[in-house]
Amino acid sequence: MVSNNFTQNRFTFLLSREVAQELLSTYGSPLYVYDGDRLRETIERITKAVSYPHTQFRFASVTNGNIALLKIFRSSGWGLHANTPGDIYLGLQAGFNPSEIVYSGSNLNRTEMLQVLNWGVTILNFDSLAQLQLCCEVLPKRTEKNIRLGLRLNMPEITGDSRIGVRPEEFCDAIALTREVGLKLSGLHFYRGTGTNATAAFTQVIDTVIATAQQLPDWEYLDFGGGFGYPYHHNKAAFDWEMFGAELSERITRLGRKIDLVIEPGRAAIAGCATLLAQVVSVKWQGEKQIVGVDTTVANLSVPSVHGGYREIFTWKQADKSSIPHSLFTTDICGNTTYSRDYLGKNCQLPALEIGDIIAILDVGAYGYAMSSHFLHRPKPAEVLLENGTHRLIRQREDYSVLLTNQMLDSSPLFKGSQRGLLPWR
């Protein structure tokens, strides 16, 4: 993981060594640090890329559910895209109106379906006829009829091999289900896949998606994903928002009728605004290789098998004038558990580090804290927001008491309950 000059210049501009030290002294280590100003800049750039006038941006909060960050999206004019009832709950706590939230989830039970509807969400995209039918069974019990129902599209030739979505040959059955309860099937949701940086993967299928949506006689809105990537390798291809926005806007405008367009960036909007700071607690050498132990763990990053394991790692020693190419060493950055795969970075090119040095793991805003866990019983870090030259805590650091949350503590012997008419577990 070689940090190139672009990364060094970008990061040192955002966070100096002195600020990093101040943050760790104030809030402790490890620490998630979010740059609110950078987040707003990214939101503005993505928004401007799509000129079609009937466009609604909805942040995919599955990537990050911190209330303070959700409020930044709301103040920037974006709504929310929810994959689960939990996403909706957090969005409501952040001040989003239910009408600003789009639900595009999977496999709700009846209680959850009722909860989503009772919260007032009015745009729902379903990934199966069974889920659409469950919604239609519940809806007649409600007086509100301002619901807009849509389908998540499953077409292997453009969506890949996926469990999510409804095939076009099922559209007729779906239309019949909605009409039985006096509603319209008015939307189509296209999801290309997670973290796609190839712009052509989206632009080349626009015509196909639109043609498929036109098979719905009551088509009113197109939800075009979802799945936009972020260039964790900063010297490789990045998603071209300007090209995508221009082509999608032109194609929909060409229809000559109003179609509401929904765009749901998640990772693309928030990944680059966050950094995980950690401190070196151990250094050892295996021949010419440097093994650096730090006070965080891979459990504080996204699951590598799901969302990729690569993150650029930076140390301020790289920016020192005394740092010359031959002073870099192949380095593994190891977490503070005994999990054999607890590597935050492998084969990085870094200077010789010392105990107490600070490292910065870049681009952790998406699926960082959101996918962190208590694996091997490590409490989670705090989160801090930088805005206008100031910093504030937006999530407290956990302590070990969190490991007891919801556990039923009982000091009585295992079989004592049998004396009260309770049978021991066998």
Beta-sheet strands, E only, within 37-106: 55-60, 79-82, 101-103
Specify the CATH superfamily of domain 5-33+271-403.
Lyase, Ornithine Decarboxylase; Chain A, domain 1 (2.40.37.10)
Beta strands 382-387 and 390-395: pairing type?
A: antiparallel
CB 234 within 8 A of CB 314: no
pLDDT value for 327: 87
pLDDT value for 10: 47
Alpha-carbon span 280 to 371, nearest angstrom = 23
Q: Is 424 exposed, middle or buried (0-12, 13-18, 19+ CB in 10 A)?
A: exposed
pLDDT value for 4: 34
Q: Is 224 exposed, middle or buried (0-12, 13-18, 19+ CB in 10 A)?
A: buried
Q: Is 234 left (phi over 0), alpha (psi -120 to 50) or beta?
A: alpha
pLDDT value for 9: 41
Q: Which fold is adopted by the domain 36-269?
A: TIM Barrel (3.20.20)
For 420, the token pair is 């009260």
- pLDDT tens for the chain, residues 1 to 426: 333 333 444 444 468 899 999 999 999 999 999 999 999 999 999 999 999 999 999 999 999 999 999 999 999 999 999 999 999 999 999 999 999 999 999 999 999 999 999 999 999 999 999 999 999 999 876 655 689 999 999 998 888 788 889 999 999 999 999 999 889 999 999 998 777 889 999 999 999 999 999 999 999 999 998 889 999 887 778 999 999 999 999 999 999 999 999 999 999 999 999 999 999 999 999 999 999 999 999 999 876 655 667 889 999 987 665 555 558 999 999 999 998 889 999 999 999 999 999 999 999 999 999 999 999 999 999 999 999 989 999 999 999 999 999 999 886 555 455 445 555 554
The letter for the amino acid at 309 is G
Q: Which residues pair with 139 in a beta bridge?
A: none
pLDDT value for 412: 59
pLDDT value for 11: 46
pLDDT value for 2: 31
Which residues have a Cβ under 8 Å from the Cβ of 157 and sit 6 or more positions away? none
The three-point CA angle 370-340-400 to 5° equals 50
> If you count DSSP H runs as helices and E runs as strands, how many of each does the chain have, helices first?
14, 17
pLDDT value for 308: 65
Output the CA–CA distances (angstroms, integers) from residue 398 to 25, 155, 216, 376, in the order listed: 17, 43, 49, 14
Domain boundary assignment for the chain: 5-33+271-403, 36-269
CB 363 within 8 A of CB 311: yes
